[in-house]
Structure 1
């Protein structure tokens, strides 16, 4: 007897990225990068070495290690752990735009950059991405221990200063940075002998049921609209959760208090024309009111994600300078 059950239908249509069907099936489109592709300066591409390594064999998750010329000749450099954006649902360290950003950071800070993938929603809803980020940090810890024992990845053994590790990421990656900082500061994530000297969320992807002024009043950006932001949270959060869920709203009604959490120093970057601008500003103001070390840098005339949209523009040049200042002089001398 033929089944009378209705055929699966689309419940979330993410345009060129993916579709979620009513039976839970996810259809991912192969060519989903709608961003303008960056043109890499030949000298930059030739100067920085990079390779992919597995950090979680069970999940098949990888990260990309970038090593600039100064590291090749034996200079120990800070480590920048980086998490890409994409609303927790799309993206990869392999995307040309994120690759270009990490090449710049590696060469111009300079730093050893570790750009990590993580499991994506809706197949793997939060906190899967945050758990994977914790696994990345644990992998870094294991590498530091192995290097101390005369082993470990040879690039990191030769080049990485594990006492000067920074955690950064853009958009959803910026939200991941917050979660890493909270786990570190609350003792849920222990990375000794690694020392995290600072965290750098770039235009972090936060949300909430009550609209911020920028969400309510700003026109949509070229790559982020309010409906798209809301859709991202519907795909990423546990089923039935609202945007006040603690993994979306760090100061929601059910979010844990951060007063007693020993957060690393933070540098938070926001964009003036970003729908999410006010959430980043509020984040810094609330942390400062608790006595945390949090610096805010706002880029006038820029929209959400301007760095990975145009990695080699004037604003991108200034962002690299801002992060370099933080890494080499602005972070606290009391890392955790």
Structure 2
């Protein structure tokens, strides 16, 4: 009886780095979460090919009913830190590229849920997992991870904007970026003025904006969320004479009138 299916791929050909994927052989009625396992070894020894590491990945795939990704990383002393962290980051970037690719590897994409990604590590691998969490900041929303690459505002551009604009050494959990981040001031006790949030249904930032509106609504704030199905980021300025843009203008006018009385 075949319980598992596996596959090995390059994720960084420059450094000859590969990753091994594992998934349950039996088809699932729902898509599976993705779980990274990064091996240990004090950054100096170890390999994803060690029997104990491979056996653990087998068990993870079966017990979690998940797609397991076990990547290589460069070892010291030939490659001192942060080489291993950079390699871990590239392994995650590989997955993001699969999520946005027009020609993805269907062995993965047919079964994987890109909105449910977990990163773990053993010993030195745990340190890598921590540093990836810090570097990546807040987890990408479903709309960011699965949004079309050809979108006017795509994930790569969003990521570049954040890296160029946030304070050096900070992440996207900075209070000026994420109003619900760990260091952000609580908005619940504040007496906020009325707020109108408008998003295009295909905007990669949609999930974050919707979450913002829903949280404030739960706290009793006067906030209205409007979503235009199929519209991209900035649709009302890109095509100001379109029907959605015209509808939005009326919504804004109504909001201004109602909140002015």
> Which residue among 97, 107, 111 is the counterpart of 1:159?
111
What is the CA–CA distance in structure 2 between the aligned matches of 1:97 and 1:192, rounded to whole Å? 35
What is the CA–CA distance in structure 1 between the aligned matches of 2:16 and 2:29, rounded to whole Å? 31
Shift of 1:261: 5.2
What's the secondary structure of 1:98's corresponding residue? helix
Task: State the partner residue of 1:98.
Answer: 53
Task: State the partner residue of 2:194.
Answer: none
What is the CA–CA distance in structure 2 between the aligned matches of 1:114 and 1:261, rounded to whole Å? 29
Shift of 1:192: 4.0
Task: State the partner residue of 1:47.
Answer: 3
Q: Cα distance 1:122–1:192, how it changes in 2: closer, same or farther (>3 A)? A: farther
Contact 2:67–2:112, Cα closer than 8 Å, also in 1: yes
Q: Give the RMSD, CA atoms, in angstroms.
A: 2.8
The answer to whether 1:121 aligns with 2:76 is: yes
What is the CA–CA distance in structure 1 between the aligned matches of 2:170 and 2:93, rounded to whole Å? 25
What is the CA–CA distance in structure 2 between the aligned matches of 1:174 and 1:119, rounded to whole Å? 15
Q: Cα distance 1:136–1:179, how it changes in 2: closer, same or farther (>3 A)? A: same
What's the secondary structure of 1:121's corresponding residue? coil
What is the CA–CA distance in structure 2 between the aligned matches of 1:118 and 1:140, rounded to whole Å? 16
Task: State the partner residue of 2:88.
Answer: 133
What's the secondary structure of 2:11's corresponding residue? strand
Query: Equivalent residues in 2 for 1:160-199 (5 A)?
Result: 160-185=112-137, 192-193=144-145
Shift of 1:108: 0.8
Aligned residue pair count: 155
Q: Cα distance 1:133–1:194, how it changes in 2: closer, same or farther (>3 A)? A: farther
Contact 2:42–2:124, Cα closer than 8 Å, also in 1: yes
What's the secondary structure of 2:48's corresponding residue? coil
Runs of at least 5 residues in structure 2 that lack an aligned partner in the other structure: 148-168, 176-181, 185-210, 212-261
What is the CA–CA distance in structure 2 between the aligned matches of 1:186 and 1:67, rounded to whole Å? 26
Structure with the bigger RCO (C-alpha within 8 Å, sep 6+) is 1
Runs of at least 5 residues in structure 1 that lack an aligned partner in the other structure: 1-42, 196-255, 263-288, 292-333
Shift of 1:69: 2.8
What is the TM-score with the length of structure 2 in the denominator? 0.54
Shift of 1:257: 8.1
Q: String of CA shifts for 1:193-225, please: whole Å, max 9, x gaps.
A: 169xxxxxxxxxxxxxxxxxxxxxxxxxxxxxx
What is the CA–CA distance in structure 2 between the aligned matches of 1:257 and 1:165, rounded to whole Å? 22
What's the secondary structure of 2:95's corresponding residue? helix
What is the CA–CA distance in structure 1 between the aligned matches of 2:144 and 2:170, rounded to whole Å? 25
Contact 2:174–2:183, Cα closer than 8 Å, also in 1: no
Shift of 1:167: 0.4
What is the TM-score with the length of structure 1 in the denominator? 0.42
Shift of 1:185: 1.2
Query: Equivalent residues in 2 for 1:234-273 (5 A)?
Result: none
Moved over 6 A (4+): none
What's the secondary structure of 1:156's corresponding residue? helix
Question: Which has the greater radius of gyration?
Answer: 2
Shift of 1:75: 3.4
> Which structure has more helix as a fraction of its residues?
2
Task: State the partner residue of 1:78.
Answer: 33
